[in-house]
Structure 1
Amino acid sequence: MKVLVIDDEHLVRETVVHLLETFGISDIIEADDGHAGLQLVQEQRPDLAIVDVRMPGLGGIELLERLKRLNIQLPYVMLSGYDLFSYAQTALNLGATAYLLKPVNPDELYAVIQKVRLDRQLQDIRSETAMRTNIQLKQSMEIMRRRFIGELAATTPLAEGYVAGRLKELEIGFAHRQFAIVRIELDPVSGPASGLPSNDQALIQYGAENIACEILQQADVGVWPGDAEQGFFLLANIPLSVQYPRDLMSLCTEVKESIRRYLRQHATIGIGSLACTLSELPSSYEAAGKALLQRLVKGTGSVIVYERPVASPDQFKGIGFQVEQDMLLEFERGDQAAAMAIVRRMYEPFIALDFIDRASLLKLNFQLIVLLFKILERFDAEPAPLLGEELSLYEEVNQCTSIEAMLDWFAGKLALAFDALLSNRETGARKLIEKARGYIHNRYMEDLSLETVAAHVYVTPAYFSSIFKKETGKNFVDYVSHYRIDKAKQLLGSGNYKVNAVAAMTGFHNMKYFYKVFKKQTGLTPNQYKEL
């Protein structure tokens, strides 16, 4: 607490200063006349002034009148050697806190000091409360504005009456007749910056928003910020002096460069279509989102104006049966490079046309993940422990910021899949052949073909033929023939069946062929074998 003592009598000042020090006050300044006191009040801004009523030149009453005209408000204690009601009344009317007689009574002065301290504390509390209330009101107003701007931009057109009412309530005004949504997203970073706490990330985004608002406002563009799914957006109210999209794109390029320079962050900015009414803002917001998506082919750190694609959405097709078969064949061959070439071919329409249709891209990403899972399961591998859950993978690949990043992501997953299949290929092949043998042994009497058995174990005929011979030492036809002849020998040896019946029971529907195969394997005809 700082106290100014103004009195022309040195002894009085000395006494008052001593009393103040006994009250625990150390910040004390003195003046020996009214003029010096006035100057000190203006320079030092004390918390309390103790002033003598009668002094040469400028007395206490006149000093209070001067301070009142200067609109300087602080507590005053008037000292006087005269117990005159008129002095006291005048001093109190001018706002004095107390009127004390000389010699100063310590208890009276202490009571006044305590009152001033209490009043000051209450004033500080009231000021702080008012300041907090004001801040909260401003913050609440800003939050409500952002929400309403979000309503204008991201929903279907609102009722005109509702819009007009909310614009008035929230003190939002538009000076120009052209609008566009500008969406800004900070690009993901790697390294130490990628692990920034959420508070720091919020501060960086706040800084980016302030930079964008300042640059656009300097060009007389009205700016109203709102929150997007990622990042933020600006409702830009564009004057005729700013040409759309050329000048707006230049301003956004300046925003992007300033964010990089001052925040050391890379930003991608999507500019939506031009809107001439508020009801067209949802379309502009959607267009800005589509523009942002084009960074997958144009690269991050770009400023992109939405343009309607020349290509028809029909040109983007999902995975068909033939692609599945081609991919399965490359897995069977163990050709990782060829499998990756198939994946790359699926993304070529997006790269070639320089346009991203979000729905088509998401569909393609999902179908490729499902196909990878399906193929791994066909080879008796468990895809989830190896690669992760389907939904997590889908969310992960969709976070990639370019088509090349998506291709790199799939290349990594294919490498994991091929490595896993290579390590357990022999085990898997044995299981597959055992399953095929079981099928043959149970159905040898039926018409069996390589294609039928391959389909049963979910592999292509070519792959099945290759691993079947490797595991059994025989090709498929020879193996089936030997097994059937072994069964025919058992039946003939029992003596219960005629030769033609045995042929039919073992899958031979041509007697001549049965005789030929039987003699080739045993050196005897079926009749000769039966008579042994």
Structure 2
Amino acid sequence: YMSTVYQDEIVCILNTVDKEIEPVRKKLKYLIVNVSNLKTVFPDIRIRIGQGNTHSSYMGITDSFREAELAIMNRMGENEDTYICYSEDSKSGKTKEEIFDSGLRNEILTYQERMDIEGTLRLVDKVGEKLKPFKYDGKLVYEVFGELVETLRFGMKYSREGRNLFLIEDYKKQYRRIWDYDELFQWIKSDLSRVHQVYMKNIQDEESKPIRDAKKYIHDNFNKHISLENVSEYIGFNAAYFSTLFKKETGKNFLEYVTELRIQNAKNYLIQTNYDIAEVASAVGYNDLKYFSKLFKKTTGLNPSEFRKLYS
């Protein structure tokens, strides 16, 4: 016999006669047992052997190889054997279009366009349930899997990061490592969720950075004349959009945030310095002493003099 490594598999060509096939099978099954016993050392190791039909001519080697591949594909059926022989009985007669039709595809794309991950995952489950009665047909399972992954990736056209994290070749490699039908769909959903979380975090980071820049600008300039308009202009945003985003990120509107920062600094000046009240007001950005005193009392419950006397 001869063997070679093909992708993640070892391919063997056996030159034998029919009456010697059974002893060969026994030896290969014994090999599976020995390899499986290494799980204590390699806990993730799993092995299956697929056997193609025998052919009378070397011209049939390619057919036998394809049959062995189909046998391995059939691993997700009810058959728990680790040694799987090719069988015509594994064909369901169904096409991938019957399982994963255009309506289902368009539904998935619609949910992805809305960035609705829960809706997308429900439809992945729907594909899995439609396909499940035919899971013994490994070729059909693989074809539907391929269509589903292609659709999910296409649906990430809104996200360059998503497409880079959802690579078709990575999915094909992972498919070869999974042996159980339910495990396959759980893994698809888990990885789809992972990609979505990374994408949403990137969006949040993109939105948060301008707000971080705005907050730094406010902290550096709160003692000067500062307005929603000049801060939004500084970070390059429309004032109305900046106002909405600022409230979303900080939980406060712009004026509340600036006022809170100024009053907190005014408290520090009143406790730690000998500035008179007018100097404190000016130091935190208020030139109108009366307005400052009124605002300070509204915020703290005490006027500035009372606060200094109580806490100094």
TM-score relative to the length of structure 1: 0.31
TM-score relative to the length of structure 2: 0.49
Structure label with greater radius of gyration: 1
**Which structure is richer in relative contact order (CA contacts within 8 A, separation 6 or more)?**
2
- Structure 1 or 2: more strand by fraction: 1
- Structure 1 or 2: more helix by fraction: 2
